[in-house]
Amino acid sequence: MSQSAHQRSGQIAPLMVGGVAAVGVALAVILGVSVSGGDSPEAAAAELFTVDHGDFKVTVPCSGELAAMNQIEIYNTLEGRAVISEIVDEGTFVAKDDVLLRFDDGTVRDNIKKLQEEVAQADNSLDAATAAWEIQKQSQASEMAERQVAIDLAEIALKAWLEGHDVSKKQELEMGIQTAEKDHDRLAQRFDHSKTLKEKDYINNEELLKDEIAYLNAQVALKKARLDRTIYLEYSREKELKKLSSDVTQANAEYGRAKMRLEASVRSKLSGVELAQLQLESTNDRLKKLEDQLTKCTVTAPSAGLVVYASSLESMGWRDRDNPPSVGTELNRNQPVIVLPDTSQMIAEVKVNEALSGMIQTGQQVSVSSDALPDTIVLGEVLQVGVLAEGGGWRDPNRRDYTVKVKLVNAEGLGLKPSMRCKAEIIVAQVDDVLYIPIPAIHRSGALIYTYVLESDGFHQRAIKLGQVSDLYAEILDGLEPGGVVLLREPAPSEIAVRIEDRS
């Protein structure tokens, strides 16, 4: 291949085949797609190209940002007021267990002291419990009697339904089915007889239709009767039975709960020590929670990583570069604060136009260059193709792009960081050993695709058939032979020796 073709290597083009090749040329220009060429013979002049076999790669160009494949997100987990008193600088590389930030813990410590005082007050409820004990014993007997009445009523209602309504309803439904079956059989016979009479022209169509409608109505009535029985037995009956059974169960359960509650209440009233102990356990639970909050006032790194403020990332839902977290900043609960990307394994998140997204598959090879290191090519492979397209926003509402994640395989030691802008070329196809010419040599007039071939008397217009196409090269399936020389521009009228219509 010529030196100029080698210089274009690595650019990107869509893959078009056969009859749609000409459309592919226009699409390649619109979407900014390019392709890398293989070896070709040296052109005789800057505007000429010698037709020969060669190879080229079809690639898709895209751009986006670098990101870490894995990262740890740090949130504010304090339940109360969270004011930052210390925070590590963004961009710092921290080791595991290094302090990332601290919150003002004065309020938490004050609340801990108050709860410690409440523990001592557990014994003060003993006098009130003694007065309430007598009242509780009297109300216990009264309430338990009411619960027993509720159980008796629920059981009576269940028994009455099972022995009365349920039996009557089943008999009614069975009778309805038997009646519908007899009526169905009668009308079926009548309809069959009417068809026989109609064949002998003893009755007219209207009389036959009337008997047919009556038969169809009987079919519907029979199906409905059977369906009514099914619905009742499998649904309505089960629903009512479960409801009445549940009433009995709930009445018994409520009796048991009331008994336990009242007995527990009596015991609690009798023993000031037990009440004090319950108060102590409750207060201790609250105290432990506050002590846990105190430990959360100091946040350390779960693992090594690069410190990135959540306010710098759109993906965290709180992008505010002008107001990064600092000493004195008050955070909401569960608000993201810091992200620790693991920069040992980086990925590129690039955008691919929806018209080209169908060409992208996992495992395809990719070359990536960041804006920070434009001369350094990092190899990678497609890791994931987004499921849903993303809009272009108000700047380009008609644009739809898919996010493609590319795993970088040789980025160690380059100092790449998340959010660095990058460009990528995804290799989607390899075209080997084909006859090809550059795109500028191809012309079109309606359905006719042609090129200009250099002959001894000037340029001859020649129809060609295209195969795989990019914005740099196109495979020639028919119309040219190896060694032919084509013109890379539109010739002047005086340069054209033979036109296609001249041969007809």
The CATH number of the domain holding residue 29 is 2.40.420.20
Least confident segment among 213-217, 235-239, 382-386: 235-239
Average pLDDT estimate for 392-408: 85
- 219 falls within a domain: yes
DSSP output for 343-408: TTSEEEEEEEEHHHHTT--TT-EEEEEESSSTT--EEEEEEEE-SS-EEETTTEEEEEEEEEEEEE
Q: Which amino acid is at 315?
A: S
Indicate if 90 and 23 belong to the same structural domain: no
Distance CA 500, CA 88 (A): 75
CA–CA dist 25, 444 (Å, integer) = 10
Provide the residue range defining the domain that includes 19: 3-66+431-503
Q: Do 326 and 219 fall into the same domain?
A: no
CATH number for the domain spanning 147: value is 1.10.287
Whether the predicted pLDDT of 28 surpasses 50 = no
User: In this structure, what token pair is assigned to residue 475?
Assistant: 């495979």
Residue of higher predicted confidence among 351 and 44: 351
Residue 78 belongs to some domain of the structure: yes
d(CA 341, CA 78): 23
Q: What are phi and psi of 355, to 5 degrees?
A: -70, -20
Query: How does residue 13 score in pLDDT terms, banded at 50, 70 and 90?
Result: very low
Contact 350, 367 (CB under 8 A): no
The pLDDT tens digits for 240-292 are: 888 888 888 898 988 888 888 888 877 777 776 677 777 778 888 888 888 89
3-state secondary structure of 79: coil
CATH of the domain at 327: 2.40.50.100
One domain, residues 99 and 135: no
Residue written as token pair 């073709």: 5
User: How far apart are the C-alpha atoms of 451 and 433, rounded to whole Å?
Assistant: 21
Residue 247: what are its φ and ψ, rounded to 5°?
-60, -40
Check whether residue 138 and residue 208 sit in a common domain.
yes
Q: How far apart are CA 216 and CA 75, in angstroms?
A: 70
At residue 455, the pLDDT reads 92
Tell me: do 229 and 177 sit in the same domain: yes
Report the pLDDT value the prediction gives residue 270, as an integer from 0 to 100: 77
Of 276, 310, 330, which residue sits at a domain end?
276
Report the predicted TM-score, pTM, of the whole model to 2 decimal places: 0.50
pLDDT bracket for residue 5 (50, 70, 90): very low
pLDDT, residue 4, reads 34
318 pLDDT above the threshold of 70: no
Q: What is the mean pLDDT of residues 159-175?
A: 87
Q: Which of 307, 326, 341 is the last residue of a domain?
A: 341
The tally of domains found in the chain comes to 3
Please check whether residues 75 and 46 belong to one and the same domain: no
Query: Do 318 and 449 have their domain in common?
Result: no
Residue 151 and residue 210 in one domain: yes
Rounded CA gap, 211 and 220, in Å?
14
Confidence (pLDDT) at 326 = 87
Question: Do 32 and 89 fall into the same domain?
Answer: no
Residues 200 and 130 in one domain: yes
Say how many Å lie between the first and final Cα of the chain, rounded: 36
| 214 shares its domain with 262 | yes
427 three-state secondary structure: strand
98 and 170 together in one domain: no
Domain contains 371: no
Query: Using 50, 70 and 90 to split pLDDT, how confident is the model at 22?
Result: very low
Q: Which helix (H) or strand (E) holds 211?
A: helix 205-231
Question: Is 292 within the bounds of a domain?
Answer: no
Final residue of a domain: which of 243, 276, 309? 276
